[in-house]
Amino acid sequence: MVLKTLRTKTKGIMIIVAVAFVISIFAGYGFYSRKGDSSAGKDRVVAKANGTNIMLSQIDMGVRQLMEQMGISNLAQEQYYVLRKHILDQIILDMELDKEVKKNKIEVADEEIEAAMERIAAQFPTKEAYQDYLKAYNIREEDLKKELSRQLAQQKLLQAVVKVDDTITEEEVKEFYEVNGDTYFVRPEGLWVNYAIFSDGKIAQEARDALADGQPWDEVMERYSDKILHSTPYDNPLLLSMATIEAQEGMASLRELKAGDVSQPTQLDTDQIAVYLVKEHQKQEKIPFEEVKDSIKLALNQQKMQAQRQAYLQELIDNADVNIVDASVFEAPQRQEQPQQPDGQQDVDEQQSETSTNEAAQQSDLPSQESQESQSVQQSQSDSETK
């Protein structure tokens, strides 16, 4: 199961990493270190791409960072090899994208880099917190700007080679709707409601009473605007499905309300109280084609672009000059067939096969958990250490 999940999730790794979204740059920044973890005692060349050595430490650092991003702490040994191969592909792809950027003379303006830097800094509560983060991980702003420039250039490259597909026909859209309409385009049974969320139960009751007396929704919302945490405009109600209503404690009474009725204040949690105005009941229905055709066309366009992008990236990898120096790093050892186990013993053996990453490392010359450096080693940190 874990192996299947990994294979599914890692199919899009090449695209996800190559098209790094700047607003979350620290999550993917330094996905692997070109220099790897030099503290690893058994480092060696495991592959060469365009004459450039790829070290075992680079591969395993990328695996650890990917596992961290995917929220995986333990892997059986054979699953670790699957991720190693994906990381190798990513390293090769990154090199090839840099070559294509240079070949196509793609440049990134200083203003674009500065805007990206500002978006990164904005993720931190204060400017001081941002600076503290850089210092904690030994990241120099100069190196960060260089890495941003490189990634932004890769984004521009992909935007240039993968064009928006405007060839989706009305017939294709209708066919998708007919085939998938009952699955994707169903409006569930529920209630269309306006709602307002308060932090003060007394204020919520006052607002509710005003609405029950017939005062217009938007006027009441305006009057209590400084006391409301969130609310919907009258002309933009929310559809609450019956499944949601039944799953939420305290909302069951909404089922009994008629159009125009106002609920009593409903406690959502310790500091949130909601008031609902029911606008109408919704029966389950298939959403009309006219309401969704534009969304379907957009989705089909994006699907074609995704396929074009994936094909382009895979072609870069396939055409790269790669020499695998140590194939054993990327291929799990073949298991010898074991004699039939008595009942109950097989389950024990299966549990034992799910070894931790640390155990897999010990069996395959990987750096042990105790020798691993910080999981958040960044590319600019590596660059800084060489200067």
Position 174 in a domain? no
- Shared domain check, 257 and 375: no
Is residue 277 packed enough to be buried (19+ CB in 10 Å), middle (13-18) or exposed (0-12)? buried
Please indicate, yes or no, whether residues 278 and 314 belong to a single structural domain of this protein.
no
Same domain membership, residue 266 and residue 137: no
Of 286, 318, 347, the domain-final residue? 286
**Alpha-carbon separation of residue 330 from 47, 85, 89, 364 (angstroms):** 10, 6, 11, 11
- The amino acid at 309: R
On the question of pLDDT at 144 being above 50, the answer is yes
Mention every residue, 6+ apart, whose C-beta is less than 8 A from residue 306: 15
Answer yes or no: do 209 and 260 share one domain.
yes
Q: Closest by alpha carbon to 296, among 159, 178, 189?
A: 178
Is 58's pLDDT higher than 70? yes
Strands 238-241 and 228-231, bridge-based pairing: unpaired
- For the stretch 147-189, pLDDT in tens is 999 999 999 999 888 876 677 899 999 999 999 999 999 999 9
Residue 371 DSSP one-character state:
G
Our count of domains for the chain comes to: 2
DSSP conformational letter for 262: B
What's 233's DSSP letter?
A: -
CATH for 261 = 3.10.50.40
Query: Do the beta carbons of residue 36 and residue 63 sit within 8 Å?
Result: no
Q: Which residue has the higher pLDDT, 117 or 25?
A: 117
Q: Is residue 175 part of a domain?
A: no
CB 36 within 8 A of CB 133: no
Q: CB of 139 within 8 A of CB of 121?
A: no
Measured between alpha carbons, how far is 69 from 51 in angstroms, rounded to an integer? 30
Q: Lowest-pLDDT range, 117-131, 152-166, 349-363?
A: 349-363
Strand pairing class (272-282; 52-55): unpaired
Q: In this structure, are 160 and 253 located in the same domain?
A: no
Q: 19 and 127 share a domain?
A: yes
CB 140 within 8 A of CB 380: yes
Gap between the Cα atoms of 42 and 321, Å rounded: 26
Residue 299: inside a domain? no
What's the one-letter identity of residue 19? V
Is residue 291, in this structure, part of any structural domain at all?
Answer: no
Confirm whether 292 is domain-assigned.
Answer: no
Distance CA 116, CA 333 (A): 44
Q: Identify whether 47 is part of a domain.
A: yes
Give yes or no: residues 72 and 219 share one domain.
no
Beta strand pairing call for 186-187 and 285-286: antiparallel
Same domain, 13 and 94: yes
pLDDT for 9: 40
Q: Are residues 211 and 152 in the same domain?
A: no
> Is 141 in contact with 5 (CB distance < 8 Å)?
no
Which of 12-21, 208-217, 323-332 bottoms out in mean pLDDT, i.e. has the lowest? 12-21
Domain shared by 134 and 18, yes or no: yes
* Phi-psi category of residue 246: left, alpha or beta, with phi > 0 → left and psi -120 to 50 → alpha: alpha
Q: Where are the alpha helices (DSSP H) in the chain?
A: 2-10, 13-18, 25-28, 56-70, 77-103, 110-121, 127-136, 141-161, 170-184, 201-212, 217-223, 242-247, 289-319, 345-353, 357-363, 379-385
In the chain, the amino acid numbered 327 is: A
Give the range of the structural domain holding residue 271, as residue numbers without chain letter.
Answer: 186-286
Q: Note the pLDDT of residue 152.
A: 94
Same domain, 261 and 341: no
pLDDT of residue 2: 37
Confidence (pLDDT) at 145: 93
Within a domain: 298: no
Same domain as 154, residue 53: yes
The tens digit of pLDDT for each residue in 297-344 reads 999 988 888 888 899 999 999 999 999 999 999 988 876 655 555 454
Q: How far apart are CA 74 and CA 358, in angstroms?
A: 8
Tokens 């291929």 sit on residue: 331
Dihedral over alpha carbons 190, 193, 198, 203 (to 10 degrees): -120
Whether 232 maps to a domain, the answer reads yes
Average pLDDT score, the chain: 80
User: 107 pLDDT exceeds 50?
Assistant: yes
Q: Does residue 54 contact residue 341 with C-beta atoms inside 8 Å?
A: no
Final residue belonging to a domain, choices 253, 286, 319 = 286
235-269 exposure pattern, b = at least 16 Cβ within 10 A, e = fewer: eebeebebeebeeeeebeebeebeeeebbebbebe
